[in-house]
Amino acid sequence: MSVAIKYRIGKSTAFKTLVIVLSLACVVPLLFILVYILQAGITKINWNFLTNLPKPVGESGGGIANALVGTMIIVGTASIIAIPFGILCGIYLSENKNSKLAYWSRLCIDILQGIPSIVIGIVAYFWLVKPLNSFSSLSGSMALAIMMLPIVVRSTEETLLLLPDSLREAAYALGMPFHRVILKVIVPCGISGIMSGVMLSVARITGETAPLLFTAFGNPYLTTDITKPMQSLPLLIFNYATSPYNDWHDLAWGASCILLIWVLLLNIFTKLITRKWKVQL
Amino acid sequence: MESTIVKSVNYNAYFGDNHVVKDVNIEIPRNTTIAVMGPSGCGKTTFLRGINRMHELIPGATAKGQILLNGEDVMEMHPIFVRLKIGMVFQRPNPFPNLSIYDNVIAGYKLNGIKLPKAERDNIVQHSLTRVALWNEVKDSLTKKGSFLSGGQQQRLCIARAVAMEPEVLLFDEPTSALDPISTSTVEELFHELKKNYTLIIVTHNMQQAARVSDRTAFFYMGELVEFDDTKTMFTNPKDIRTQNYITGRFS
């Protein structure tokens, strides 16, 4: 073999190695975070941890029941607000690709996606918390809903754009009206993509802290009243991890671990759903 | 019963400023098979899609003139109503991938929210599939997805879907151009069967196919209807020089 060829093969191998090494390097931070938080947090999690309220400083034990319930309520309310709007907007954008309104709403959605979460929190504070004169989980849900919206819209739009036009034509040629074409053909065929967008957006907002700081605010007690301040996992982690007490640090580690497992489960679940509900075109 | 089922009067179709179909006047008799042929881009498909108002679904597409179905102008009717009376089969088989074979056949009822008793549904499915010579092949796998079938079977399923609605006219937009030769001949045989109950308008760029399946042939060139005559006359004794040139293969 000539030297020139050997040199070229060598270059190729070096490049391949580089690509593999760098890909592995991307996985390392995730593994590191996973191992670290699981190590620190998993031992703190037990039945009492999940079902009890936090104890006052000085008493050991206590749990994060209020934050778990609070997170579920805040994220659930945000989803109820954002998902219908997001899916409908995504349908509009995919069905009317070139209209003026589509252009402007696409632009707005893109900008919305880039707005820092703390800014959205401030806006929710001035729109809801100040006029109502009280921190409330509802205002936190509003802020999170605004954060969810762009993810749901874009994933819906992109999923539906991938469906072939022949599918719409088949439906229209059978004399179906627009709403039935959308609800009975387009959405069912794109359901796996729409659902994965929804689930990823839920996973994304569950961990958001900044928009909740001055909206949901936090609460050491268990409450289900969405007009009152409410505790949530990220708020609890933020408050307890920055406190000077070891017991509270433990709670924060445990809560981090729960949050991490939740996000992991959602991601795995999304993958499963996408595979199971995928419509073979 | 009046013998003309579809009639177009000065029909024009546009894509934006592009004038694609120019002043087409044609009278199509009931229970005949019409082949519409012509070189690519001659407006034959656009004309076909104008008949059941699918043309206007494309952004920027407009149309002028009249298309009469049994003497009624379809441009004045609601498109949904028009499309229930005039079925359509497309170039590529497009069964609904989320539905079973059974549901694909009654999709026109099911997805339109028309409730039918189970016995009647079964009847429509068996009847329609038999008509397209697919019943024996799929009767044991009616619950499987439509996309599980081969291309030719899928196309026949799409024809069954259109037939199930009992339309008066069936439009075919190059129905065999995506199929293999054997599936093509199966579909062509179907045309002879379907002709007994429906009026078929078939767009094709395959002259042999036009000659094999149709009673009458329309020749489109550059958006104009050049000639419309009995298929035999058309292929043996065309009147227009452009038809002659096309048939003898001087352009395609």
- Please tell me if residue B26 touches chain A, with a CB cutoff of 8 Å: no
Cβ neighbors of B74 (< 8 A, separation 6 or more) are: B51, B52, B53, B67, B68, B82, B86
- B170 vs chain A: nearest CA distance in angstroms? 11
The answer to whether position B182 is within a domain reads yes
Tally of domains in chain B:
1
pLDDT of residue B252: 55
The whole-angstrom separation of Cα B61 and Cα B55 is: 7
**B86-89 and B33-37: which strand pairing?**
unpaired
Instruction: Give the separation between CA B64 and CA B11, rounded to whole angstroms.
Output: 6
Rounded to two decimals, the ipTM of the complex is 0.89
Asked whether residue B252 is domain-assigned, the answer is no
Q: B82 is written with which tokens? A: 């028009």
Beta-sheet pairing, B216-221 with B199-203: unpaired
pLDDT digits (tens, 9 = 90+) for A11-58: 999 999 999 999 999 999 989 999 999 998 888 888 888 888 888 777
Q: Copy the structure tokens of residue A233.
A: 């996992």
Residue A20 counted as domain residue: yes
Residue B111 in 3-state DSSP? Answer: coil
Rounded to the nearest angstrom, the minimum Cα separation between A188 and chain B is: 7
- CA separation for the pair A195, A187 (Å, rounded): 10
The number of folded domains in chain A is 2
* Residue of A168, A175, A279 with shortest CB distance to B98: A279
Q: Does B162 touch chain A (CB under 8 A)?
A: yes
Please answer yes or no on whether B108 and A174 come within 8 Å at the CB atom. yes
Other Cβ atoms within 10 Å of B18 Cβ, number: 11
A25 in the same domain as A125: no
Whether residue A152 sits in one domain with residue A16: no
Which candidate in B45, B57, B90, B111 is best for mutational testing of the A interface (most A CBs within 10 A)?
A: B111
Do the beta carbons of residue B102 and residue B171 sit within 8 Å?
Answer: no
**Helix pair angle (B181-194, B118-131), 10° resolution:** 120
Q: With an 8 Å Cβ cutoff, are A180 and B111 in contact?
A: yes
CATH for B82: 3.40.50.300
Report yes or no on B8 lying in a domain: yes
Within 8 A by CB and 6+ apart from B223, the residues are B19, B20, B21, B22, B42, B43
Beta bridge partners of B36: B203, B218
> Residue A36: which domain range?
3-44
Please give the average per-residue pLDDT across A242-268, as a whole number.
90
Q: What percent of chain A has pLDDT over 90?
A: 67
Q: Using CB atoms, which residue from B80, B92, B94 is nearest to A175?
A: B80
**Straight-line distance from the first to the last Cα atom of chain A, in angstroms, rounded to the nearest whole number:** 49
B contacts of A176 (beta carbons < 8 Å): 80, 111-112
> Residue A178's domain is classified under what CATH number?
1.10.3720.10
Q: Which residue of B has its CA nearest to A176?
A: B112
Residue B51 located in a structural domain: yes
User: Does one domain contain both A68 and A14?
Assistant: no
Cβ distance B97 to A189 less than 8 Å, yes or no, reads: yes
CB B113 to CB A177 under 8 A? no
Gyration radius (Cα) of chain A, Å: 24
Residue A51 within a domain: no
Q: Compute the C-alpha angle A147/A67/A49, nearest 5°.
A: 140
Residue in A101, A174, A281 to test binding to B, most B beta-carbons within 10 Å: A174
* B147–A98 CB contact, under 8 Å: no
Chain A contacts of B94, Cβ < 8 Å?
A: 164, 166-167, 169-170
A188, A193, A198, A199: CA torsion to nearest 10 = 120
**Which runs of consecutive H residues, i.e. helices, occur in chain A?**
3-41, 47-51, 65-95, 100-114, 117-124, 130-132, 137-162, 165-173, 178-180, 187-206, 210-213, 233-241, 246-277
A108 and A74, same structural domain? Answer: yes
State the DSSP code for A243.
Answer: S
Decide if B26 contacts B8 (C-beta within 8 A).
Answer: yes
A53 lies in some domain = no
> Taking CB atoms and an 8 Å cutoff, what residues of chain A touch B92?
166
Contact A248, A167 (CB under 8 A): no
Q: Are residues A23 and A101 in the same domain?
A: no
Q: Do B98 and A176 touch (CB under 8 A)?
A: no
Q: By a Cβ cutoff of 8 Å, what residues of chain A touch chain B?
A: 98, 164, 166-177, 180, 184-185, 188-189, 279-281
Whether the pLDDT of residue A221 is over 80: the answer is yes
Which residues in B lie closer than 8 A to residue A166 (C-beta atoms)? 90, 92, 94
Instruction: Find the domain containing B203 and state its range.
Output: 4-247
For B237-245, the CB contacts below 8 A with 24+ separation are B243/B219
Give the tokens for residue A73: 């309520």
Subunit contact A173:B83, Cβ cutoff 8 A = yes
Interval A106-138: pLDDT, tens: 999 999 999 999 999 999 999 999 998 999 999
Are residues A34 and A69 part of one domain? no
Residue B84 at interface with chain A, using a CB cutoff of 8 Å: yes
**CA-wise closest residue to B240 among B220, B216, B211:** B220
Instruction: Please report the pLDDT score of residue B4 as a whole number.
Output: 87
Contacts of B38 (CB under 8 A, 6+ apart): B44, B205, B219, B220, B221, B246
Residue B41 has a pLDDT of 85
**Confidence (pLDDT) at B1:** 47
120-149 of B, contacting A, C-beta below 8 A = 145, 147
* Sign of the alpha-carbon dihedral angle for B167, B173, B178, B181: positive
Q: In sequence order, which residues have a C-beta less than 8 Å from that of residue B237 and are 6 or more positions away?
A: none
Query: What does pLDDT average to in each consecutive run of 10 residues of chain B (252 residues)?
Result: 82 92 92 91 91 90 91 90 92 91 93 90 93 90 88 92 92 90 90 89 90 92 92 90 87 62
Nearest to B108 among A169, A175, A177 (CB): A175
Q: Is residue B176 part of a domain?
A: yes
Q: Is residue A55 one of the residues assigned to a domain? A: no
C-alpha to C-alpha distance for A171 and A174, rounded to whole angstroms: 5
- The reply to whether A54 falls in a domain is no
Task: Kindly state whether B178 is in contact with chain A, defined as any CB-CB distance less than 8 angstroms.
Answer: no
Higher pLDDT, B23 or A281: B23
By Cβ distance, the residue of B83, B113, B162 closest to A172 is B83
Please answer yes or no on whether A167 and B97 come within 8 Å at the CB atom: yes
Residue A177 phi/psi, 5° resolution? -75, 160
Alpha carbon distance B118, A198 (integer Å)? 36
Residues of A in contact with B81 (CB under 8 A): 175
β-bridge pairing B18-29 and B4-15: antiparallel
Residues A212 and A259 in one domain: yes
- CA distances to A90, A134, A144, B116 from A81, rounded to whole Å, are 15, 20, 10, 37
Show residues of chain B in contact with A169, CB under 8 Å.
54, 57, 90, 94
Among the partner residues A169, A177, A189, nearest to B98 by beta-carbon distance: A189
Per-residue pLDDT at A156: 95
Is B191 within a domain? yes
Instruction: Tell me which amino acid residue A59 is.
Output: E
- Cβ–Cβ gap B97/A281 under 8 Å: yes
Bridge partners, residue B18, by sequence: B15
